[in-house]
Amino acid sequence: MGMWIGRNRKARVTYGFDEIALVPGRVTINPNEVDIAFRLPRKETQPLEFKIPILASAMDGVVDVGFAVAMNKLGGLAVLNLEGVQTRYKNPQEVLQKVVDASKSEITALLQRIYQEPIQQDLIAARVRQIKDAGVIAAVSSIPQRAAEFGRIAQEAGADVFVVQSTVSTVRHISSEYKSLDLEKFCREMRIPVIVGNTVGYDVTLEIMECGPAAVLVGVGPGAACTSRGVLGLGVPQVTATVDCAAARDAYFKKTSRYVPIVTDGGMSRGGDVCKALACGADAVMVGSAFAKAHEAPGCGYHWGMATPHANLPRGTRIKVGSTGSLKQILFGPAEVDDGSQNLVGAITTCMGNVGARNIPEFQQTEIIIAPSIRTEGKLFQTVQNVGMGTS
C-alpha cells in the first residue's frame, strides 16, 4: 500500500470524487421505494430522525434563521454558525449586502473587517430561539476554543444539536497560550448531541469517537470556497477520507456497539458527488455551495468560507454561485438546470435504484471503480458548449 515518491519514502495514493464512478447493480429497484433516512443518536432517548441525509453547512452565505427553518421543514438539517455575521450583527442584512456588492479586489479586506466585529452573546441565544419558535430542530456551531461557552448558551436557549468544528480537529491539541477543549468532557456534559469535525484518517476518527460525539464530520479543505489545500498544502481527497473514516466507524461499532454516523462535508456540488460520498461510506453529507444557490440563502448567490476572513492568513475566497432555484427545487426538483445541481434527493434515490440499494447501509456497499475518464468520455460537445456536464 503506497508508492515510492523518492528514496526511503512511500506515500499512499488517494482519490477524489472526480476520479471514481459507481457501478450499476445486478438488481435494480424502483427509486420511489428506497429508504434514505438519516438518524442522529441522542443520549437516553430516540435518535433525531431526518427524512433526507443532507445537512447544510454552517456558512454565512448559506444558513441564517430563515434558511434553517426551511431546511428542517423539508426534511434535512441546517447548521447556523455562531461565529458569523448572525451573532456579530443584530441586522446582518446590510453587511451581507456589502459582501455581495464588493469587487474582487476589495472582498478579502472587507471580509476581514466585517468579522472583526465582536460576537454578541445575547444574539447566540436569540438566534437559537428564533429557529425554535418556528417549531423545528435547531443546530448551531462554534470552533473548539469557544465550544464550552457557546455550547452552554445554545443548549440553554433550546438548541437541539451542537457542532464543534474547525479546519482540523483532534482530541489532543497542544497550546500553552490557551486552554484546549477537553472534547471527552464536553461531549459527556452536553445533554444534546454533539457533532465534531472536521477530520480525516482512521486513527484520529477513532480517537474522536472515543470521546462520545453523536457524529463526525469528514473533510479537510474540499469546500468550494476554501483554499486551505492551496495555502497550506493540507488535505485528503474526499473519497479516501470518507472510506477511511467509515472504516473507523465500523471498527468502533464492532468494539462498542455504538454507531457514530459520519457526515462527509465539502466538495460535492452535484447529485453525482453526493451519491459517491454515500457510496464511499458516509451516512449523510454536508453541503455548502449547492445550497448557496437557493433563493432562501442569505448570500444572494455568493458564497465564502469561514476561514476567508482570517485577519492574517485568509484560507478562502468569495465565489459567485448564482441564485438558481428554491431550496425545495434544489432538494427535490423539478430540476430546471441540466448540470446536476438540482433535485439532489432525486439523484440519490435514482442512483440507489440503479445500483440496487434499498437503504443507505446497502448504498454504502456499492461497487466503486476508479474511472477518471467518466467525466469526459463522449462529452466533448458538452464541454465546448458549456452545457450539462460541461458546466461542472
Residues from 101 through 130 that contact a second copy (CB under 8 A) = 104, 108-109, 112
Under rule CB under 8 A, residue 244 binds a second copy: yes
Written as nine digits, the cell of 175 is: 497550546
Q: Which residue has the cell 460525539?
A: 213
Per DSSP (E only), the strands in 106-160 are 139-142
Contact present, 29 and 351 (Cβ < 8 Å): no
Q: What's the CA gap between 111 and 104, in Å, rounded? A: 12
Which of positions 35-94 make contact with a second copy (CB under 8 A)?
none
Determine the interface stretch with a second copy among 44-52, 127-135, 155-163, 235-243 (rule: CB under 8 A).
235-243
Least separation in angstroms between residue 246's CB and a second copy is 8
Of 57, 142, 165, 242, the residue at the interface with a second copy (CB under 8 A) is 242
Under rule CB under 8 A, residue 254 binds a second copy: no
Contact present, 96 and 299 (Cβ < 8 Å): yes
Of 197, 212, 221, 325, the residue at the interface with a second copy (CB under 8 A) is 221
Nearest CA to 58 out of 38, 39, 77 is that of 77
**Which residue(s) pair with 55 in the sheet?**
77, 286
Under rule CB under 8 A, residue 392 binds a second copy: yes
65/280 with CB nearer a second copy? 280
Least separation in angstroms between residue 88's CB and a second copy is 19
For the chain, the first-to-last Cα distance in angstroms comes to 32
Least separation in angstroms between residue 150's CB and a second copy is 20
Least separation in angstroms between residue 151's CB and a second copy is 20
Q: Residue 312, Cβ neighbours under 10 Å: how many?
A: 5
Of 62, 318, 325, 330, the residue at the interface with a second copy (CB under 8 A) is 318
90/322 with CB nearer a second copy? 322
Determine the interface stretch with a second copy among 91-99, 157-165, 253-261, 332-340 (rule: CB under 8 A).
332-340
Least separation in angstroms between residue 350's CB and a second copy is 6
Determine the interface stretch with a second copy among 40-48, 128-136, 154-162, 349-357 (rule: CB under 8 A).
349-357
Residues 46, 47, 52, 54: what is their CA dihedral angle, to the nearest 10 degrees? 160
Least separation in angstroms between residue 293's CB and a second copy is 11
What single letter denotes the amino acid at residue 355?
Answer: V
DSSP state of 51: S
Least separation in angstroms between residue 69's CB and a second copy is 25
Q: What's the CA gap between 336 and 250, in Å, rounded? A: 39
Residues constituting the chain: 392
Under rule CB under 8 A, residue 143 binds a second copy: no
Under rule CB under 8 A, residue 264 binds a second copy: no
Of 223, 261, 298, 325, the residue at the interface with a second copy (CB under 8 A) is 223
The DSSP line for 255-278 is: HHS----EEEES---SHHHHHHHH
| Radius of gyration from C-alpha coordinates of the chain | 20
Q: Which residue has the cell 420511489?
A: 32
Under rule CB under 8 A, residue 298 binds a second copy: no
26/135 with CB nearer a second copy? 26
Under rule CB under 8 A, residue 3 binds a second copy: yes
Report residue 292 CA to chain centroid gap: 13
Q: Residue 130, Cβ neighbours under 10 Å: how many?
A: 19
131/278 with CB nearer a second copy? 278
